[in-house]
Chains A and B, each alone.
Chain A
Amino acid sequence: MSPAFRRFLAITLAIEVALCGWLVVQRLQRPRAAIPAAFPDDPLLAGEFAALAKRAENGGADDWLFLGESLVGQGCYGHAEQAFERALELDPLSIEAVYGLAFAIDRTGRVAESTVQYQRCLDTPDDPRSPQSKKPFALFAIGKNHLRLGDVAAAEAAFRRNEGFVPAMYQLALILYHTSRPKEAAALLARLLQQVPLSLELHQLRARVMEQLGEPAEQFAAAAMAERSAHLIESYFGTEFVRPFNHRHGFKPVLEAYASRKASGPPAAMEAELAAIEDLVRDRRIPQRFMALFMRAERALATGRPEVALEAVRQIAAGGDASGSRLLVEAAARQMQGDADAARALRERAETLQPSVLGQRGLADACDREGDAAGRDRHRAKEHFLAAMAAYRSNKLEPALELLKKSAALVPDDATTWFHIGEMEYHLGRRDAADEAFRKALELRPGYGRARDSLDRRAP
């Protein structure tokens, strides 16, 4: 070997040692993932998060992002913040990581600091893999943050920049209302209602705006529309953001998997799955223990074992639960054992606690079997009434009216039923029929304020 080659080899080796050593040190020095020391309420989480942390430490930006989202899902905002920051170090253009970081900071009460990160979202390109842009949500959060800090003008500017995003426009309309600009608010609301005709919030706000403008008939009409409008405009997106991550780890996916397959899965496998859940939650003071007991009772009833269901009910009751759900499970078990009187008494208690369509139907049927016509009619009327109200609040006016009339035919002296018949007729544009029903309600209950108001204030 020539001296020159020897020199070259020595230099090469020296460079290699330095470079490889530097790489090894760099690699060893990368930060460990910060995860909570313990998850006392869910024994599954410790193992799952240890694995996630290891994956992130050995992985890339997406792994840190996944860890951050999972931590947010468990309410570990401070830990999540660190994971998102690391994800951003590895991939500064990850808008998901920027948004996650902003949210984690936001939830730990550092409002102005989170605004800076939400602003950074606006300057980061969207992820083409994501079906939805994060930018309107970030801009919305900026507006809300300004409101949290009391800077209404800055909030208004942020919401105005978010044109086309209905939740932001609703916030803008609120600001216009609160800053005594009702005409501008009314115009904006009219435009938004064309987009979302059955929006509860838009109609509620319109009622207030109309009051501000001194338009009582319009105010009343808007308030009446609010009652049958089911569309909700989000005023806070944190819950939606967190929900998928909240259901990703621990007990929740296990319980959800069981619930989704309990009816269709092989009985032996489902039994084993439920037993495994019971082992996990046994003797723990957590809500999942009681969910598992309800699942056990339900399974026992489905497989014809009322005594097992009653033992589950006994444990639920020992946990202090006196809910209608518990009473109905017990009623079903007693019925299965042939004790119809006990079952009926339990159902009556459950219905005293909270009437329901199914409960009333069951009681009406029981009365019918026993030849109790008055009881049957009373419960059947209530069943029709409750079903009518559900239809009404889903904006199904004709079916609601039909059910109410059936209810009134069975129990004609119920003022509430007549009031709602009036409401349906009003919404269907039959004012005379509405007035007649409101008057009937007032006749049955002279102090019925809503019936009186409807007669006094309805739109001409």
Chain B
Amino acid sequence: MTSKELSLVGLALALPVATVLALPRLPALGPPRPVTSAGDTFPASPLRFERQPLPVANEEKQLPLVTNVQVVDLDGDGTAEVLACDALGHRVVRFDRAGDRWKDSTLVDLVSYPAHVTAVDIDGDGDQDLVVSSLGDIMPSDAVIGRVILFEKRGDGYERHLLLDDVRRVADVQPGDFDGDGDVDLAVAVFGYSRGEVLWLENRGDFVFADHVLLSGPGAIHVPVADYDGDGDLDIATIMSQDLEELWGFENRGNGSFRRTMLWRTPNYDMGSAGLVASDLDQDGDVDLILPVGDNLEDYDAFPQPYHGCLWFENEGGWQFVERRIATLGGTYAAAVDDLDGDGDRDVVLASMTNDWTNPANASLVWLENDGKQSFRTWQIDNDPIHLVTVAAGDIDGDGRPDVVAGGLNLRRPYQRIGGTTAWLNRGLAGRGSTGGEMAGGETAGGATGRGPQAGAIPAASAPASDAGGAR
């Protein structure tokens, strides 16, 4: 056998051995498969908005937890201010516009995780008091830690009155004279976690209130008050969103007596109702309800679902409300209503907490343009900041156009594009002047309640109870 032949034999023996030895060391060079992404992006708004952060001191070092924003003329001077519930600082902050800048001041403090602030003259002395809903914990909790605290306006400051405790996490309080005796009573949403309730508090004078249970069950986010049946007295509505997803109406029967009716429910318990706004969206003379849906804080890392967005419940009279979907937006958490483009109909602003933030183009704030026949087109206002859980509309720069204010709840990844309270000043359509919007704030809903794998800015109704963060 020649040496060449020997080499061939050696090669024949070595090749399989070498291959077997080499195979595990070979790198993977095949392309990775495409990865599913989702979330919603929309065409840029033809209405121009100028983003303007409303910062508090040291905000650049913080992870702000803004659970509620309001546009109100608190001091009656004809200029609207912005109020924000700062759950990180356990306080209510007021922002005043001074030229092109904003100045922040603490209105009230030592409120454990404020979820909502309502300005109302509760004692009839001509100034605006503050009623604050205190969650007690922004993370999912069934503990009895909620409160309703009234801050009575006294001179330059506020005097604290505890109106309700020994209840679970309180997400919202709204005023109204429910028993027709001329004073201001309160509707209360005790969100809780596994347990909760809806109450009304009868004003008996001298800051004493008697509690009346309207409904037991967890997950009441908001309690918008309006005359839904047009009979001249004030009724209450609420959305229950923790274990079940139910829309309730409480018909005022006079003298503080209510009859409750389930107006709507869905078998999709994962729908993620996140707030409730009362507004006559179609301007037919009765009050409709607008429901932002998209709370899925039950997951450590929430992701948009196809049913997230906004539902409009058209009031057809006799406590009949017809459901209509007017938008799809992943992680929708809050809604506000106003005539943004000044064309005489009512538009809607939506804020998203959990769109798919891995795509930086996805929307965190959109508005729905009403064509006058309640057919809506979605326009993107911004993609920054993200994690928005509360939104309000109103003219805050005095130009006659309704602006938008939103708040961010930075409880979850990604900790990017972080914002606290942010305004978007409405600069109108290109080449147009004032749209003649109303001076006062529009109708709003949204806020953090911590549902958590569950927690709802609202108290993230559904967050993982341990460490993920998130109120329901």
Contacts and interface: CB of A to CB of B under 8 A. Distances in A.
Interface of A: 1, 6, 9-10, 12-13, 16-17, 19-20, 23-24, 27-34, 36, 40-41, 57-58, 73-75, 77-79, 81-82, 85, 107-111, 144, 147-150, 152, 155, 174-175, 178, 200-201, 204, 207, 223, 226-227, 232, 235-236, 238-239, 242-243, 246, 252, 284-287, 290, 318-324, 349, 352-354, 389, 416, 446-450, 453
A31 B63 contact: no
B267 A447 contact: no
B31 A41 contact: no
B223 to A, nearest CB: 16
Nearest to B24: A58
Contact of B243 (A77, A144, A235, A354): A235
B418 interface: yes
Contact of A320 (B2, B18, B86): B86
Interface stretch (B72-80, B115-123, B303-311, B387-395): B303-311
A152 B268 CA distance: 9
Contacts of A152: 267
Nearest to A111: B306
A290 B217 CA distance: 35
A27 B413 CA distance: 37
Given A31-B30, A320-B61, 11 more contacts: A29-B30, A78-B37, A109-B38, A227-B195, A236-B462, A239-B300, A246-B468, A320-B56, A320-B86, A322-B109, A353-B110
Q: Which 4 A-B pairs have the closest CB atoms?
A: A75-B301, A447-B210, A239-B453, A449-B211
A290 B61 CA distance: 11
B44 interface: no
Interface string B199-220: 1001010001111110011000
Main secondary structure of the interface of A (DSSP, over half): helix
Contacts of B12: 9, 12-13, 16
B36 interface: yes
A109 B305 contact: yes
Contacts, number: 223
Contacts of A242: 299-300, 464
A23 B23 CA distance: 8
B136 interface: yes
B265 interface: yes
B358 interface: yes
B156 to A, nearest CB: 21
Given A144-B270, A152-B267, A204-B217, A75 B23 contact: no
A6 B211 contact: no
Nearest to A56: B28
Given A148-B270, A236-B298, A286-B415, A349 B15 contact: no
B231 interface: no
Nearest to A151: B267
A20 B15 contact: yes
B256 to A, nearest CB: 11
B32 interface: yes
B274 to A, nearest CB: 17
Nearest to A86: B33
B16 A16 contact: yes
B454 to A, nearest CB: 8
Contacts of A77: 36, 301, 303
A201 B142 CA distance: 13
B63 A79 contact: no
B413 A243 contact: no
A30 to B, nearest CB: 5
A103 to B, nearest CB: 10
19 contacts: A13-B11, A27-B26, A31-B32, A32-B29, A36-B358, A40-B414, A75-B301, A78-B37, A226-B195, A236-B453, A239-B464, A320-B61, A320-B64, A320-B88, A353-B112, A354-B145, A447-B204, A447-B209, A449-B210
A150 B413 contact: no
Given A29-B30, A238-B453, A207 B216 contact: yes
A28 B27 contact: yes
A285 B11 contact: no
Contact of B268 (A148, A223, A284, A449): A148
Interface string B169-209: 00000000000000000000000001100010010100011
Contacts of A226: 195
Contacts of B211: 447-450
A272 to B, nearest CB: 24
A23 B466 CA distance: 48
Contacts of B35: 34, 78-79, 81-82
Contacts of A284: 415
A144 B18 CA distance: 53
Contacts of A75: 299-301, 303, 413
Given A6-B5, A28-B29, A353-B90, A239 B299 contact: yes
Contact of A352 (B8, B110, B270, B414): B110
A108 B359 CA distance: 14
Contacts of B158: none
A447 to B, nearest CB: 3
A246 B464 CA distance: 11
A147 B413 contact: no
Nearest to B454: A236
B195 to A, nearest CB: 7
Nearest to B167: A450
A60 to B, nearest CB: 11
Given A23-B23, A319-B61, A450-B213, A41 B195 contact: no
Contacts of A448: 210-211
